[in-house]
Amino acid sequence: MHRLYLVPTLLINVVIIFIPAVLTIALAFYRWDGIGMPVFIGLANFRQLLTDRVFWMALGNNVIWTAIFLTVPIAMGLLAATMMLVARRGSAFFQVVYFLPMVIATAITARVWQGMIYSPLTGIAGLVTRAGFPVPNPLTQPSTALYGIAVVDLWHWWGFLCVIFFAALRQVPQEQIEAARIEGASFWQMLRYVLLPGIRPTITLMMIMTIIWSFLVFDFVYILTQGGPAFSSEVLSTLAYRSAFYDLAVGKAAAVAVVISLFGLATTAVYIRLQAKEFDQ
Amino acid sequence: MRLIESRTTFVLTYAALAILLLITLFPIALLVLNSLKPATQIVQNPLAWPEVYRWDNFVRAWADARFGTTMLNSALLAALTIVLVCSTGSLTAYVLARRKIKSWKIVTFYLLATTTAPIQLFLFPLYFGFAKLGLINNVFAVSLIYTAIYSPFAIMLLRTYFLAVPKELEEAALIDGATHWQVFSKVMLPIVSPGILTVALIIGLYSWNEFLIATTFLQRTDRLTAVVSFFLLSGQYTSDWGEIMAAALIIVLPVIVLFIALQRRFIEGMAGGSVKG
């Protein structure tokens, strides 16, 4: 009887996610323009990716992105969360404000940064330039475009981590903190030997999620630069999207999607093992 | 609890927290400030206070982004998604939390795995399949996609609410002669209704803000969501940043007001849901 309760969820999930996912994996071995009959071409899509400069650039950008997001926002979040623990008064207020960017639509965040901060005409960058300190628009320089986008995503994202770390820090046993304080631990010693070890499971989980999410990043890249200039900020997800809907190379897009998923899969394996431990409790 | 006694550390801590506060609020302040300014003044100085308040920015933004239609589309899409996620999700969450079926573990792991699948893994066949079935520009079809994507998160969150309900309550109702369905709908659902409300809020927020699926599946002018219509307005239609920021504020303001009013629900739901599953 209770099995029937699962039918709606699983039906929707299978139709929207599972079947199309299987089809995508199959399509990766075909050439298809989305309209005509797909032509089986074996591994040709993958072989072409291996020699595709843009593909390697996108993959490299995803790796850079992962490296940035594994360090900067996690460090910021941890530091701010610890400081909120020290400050205590006002922590509820700080928490709400830091979290605020998370509820603003990505399209809007992207446009505010683009027009009001980075723009040489209407933004802060332009204002500073006119004051005599030339600041180029990071989004239009191949060497800085990816970092320009990353800053926007950082602004949007770090507060979420901060709130999660703060919630975890408050669970650290009071006695441990008291004991360390009586022993005369400094702020950094407290952080290093009591607080960080106390919330290690949360940090690990957030790092795993960061790796998975870093390979899925799409919105900010697509809205801010479309992967440009000259593919300098292309990531795998925008490459797949463009291949499918602009170049009508659906087979190639599917192959890129499979590559993204393989990266995710390795990380997911670790993630599910961690979750399994929690469910067995 | 005081971690540190030193007054200097205390002052430094607040200073650092305040700097982070300013960094967070600065772009939002620019959004609000410039939504009231004429384009010519923004070009001179985006930081200056408005010389004249251009309330007509909002009027033009409303007309040019067709918010009369697109907001309605967004609201309909969010409402449909909320209903679908909450109804299907609470059924599944109940069964998984109470381990009513033998395969609860497999189903749970399957759902967790789909949360980490890239959208691109199913997007392309889904798009061309929907196109063939004439489901492009169909708001209900898009709400089904959202339901598939957001359900696992909602189920994991709801599951924790079901877990908190004492088992005895269920057993007592069964002994009193209630059917299994009555136990679920008359006993369990009312108890977990705060959880369902939290899920509804967060799912509503996600579908209101969503970009990738909406821009791909809803392309006809009269079917756009508010966010996509804002994206098109700011991308090609106008370069009047006063108007663009006014349009942004129209979309963001209801969200921020709701967020501040119900902050604990939002934060615990979003942060808790992603930590626990």
Question: Which residue among B16, B109, B145 places its CB closest to the CB of A16?
Answer: B145
More confident residue, B36 or A89: B36
Q: What's the pLDDT score for residue B269?
A: 86
Q: Rounded CA gap, B174 and B171, in Å?
A: 5
Interface A–B counts its CB contacts (< 8 A) at 285
Inspect the interface and report whether the beta carbons of B124 and A267 lie closer than 8 Å: no
Inspect the interface and report whether the beta carbons of B1 and A241 lie closer than 8 Å: no
Provide the residue ranges of all domains of chain A, joining segments of one domain with +: 52-280
Give residue-wise pLDDT tens across range B13-31: 899 999 999 999 999 999 9
Distance from the A36 Cα atom to the nearest Cα atom in chain B, whole angstroms: 11
Question: Which residue among A88, A94, A106 places its CB closest to the CB of B21?
Answer: A94
Q: What interface predicted TM-score (ipTM) does this complex get?
A: 0.92
pLDDT < 50: residue spans in chain A:
none
Report whether A123 contacts A116 (CB < 8 A): yes
Q: Rounded CA gap, B200 and B222, in Å?
A: 26
Could you tell me the sign of the dihedral formed by the alpha carbons of A92, A95, A97, A99, in that order? negative
For A71, half-sphere exposure in the C-beta direction (CA atoms, 13 angstrom radius) is: 7
Residue B99, sorted as left (phi over 0), alpha (psi -120 to 50) or beta, turns out to be left
Q: What's the pLDDT score for residue B183?
A: 92
Q: CA-nearest residue of chain B to A168?
A: B275
Report whether B211 contacts A219 (CB < 8 A): yes
CA B91 from chain centre, in angstroms, equals 21
Distance from the B97 Cα atom to the nearest Cα atom in chain A, whole angstroms: 10
Measured torsion, CA atoms of residues A60, A66, A67, A73, in degrees rounded to the nearest 10? 150
Report whether B260 contacts A96 (CB < 8 A): yes
CA A34 from chain centre, in angstroms, equals 29
Set of chain A residues whose Cβ sits within 8 Å of the Cβ of B224: none
Q: What's the pLDDT score for residue B9?
A: 78
Single out the residue of A26, A200, A157 nearest to residue B271, CA to CA.
A157
B residues 142..201 contacting A (CB < 8 A)? 144-145, 147-149, 151, 155, 180, 184
Q: Rounded CA gap, A2 and B180, in Å?
A: 8
* CATH of A52-280 among 3.20.20.70, 1.10.10.60, 3.60.110.10, 1.10.3720.10: 1.10.3720.10
Give residue-wise pLDDT tens across range B230-276: 999 987 777 889 999 999 999 999 999 999 999 989 998 888 655 44
Q: What's the pLDDT score for residue A49?
A: 94
Mean pLDDT across the stretch B35-63? 90
Give residue-wise pLDDT tens across range A152-182: 999 999 999 999 999 999 888 888 888 888 8
Q: What's the pLDDT score for residue A223?
A: 95
Q: Rounded CA gap, A88 and A247, in Å?
A: 54
Domains of chain B by start residue, with CATH: 67-237 (1.10.3720.10)
The pLDDT mean for chain B works out to 91
Q: What's the pLDDT score for residue B209?
A: 96
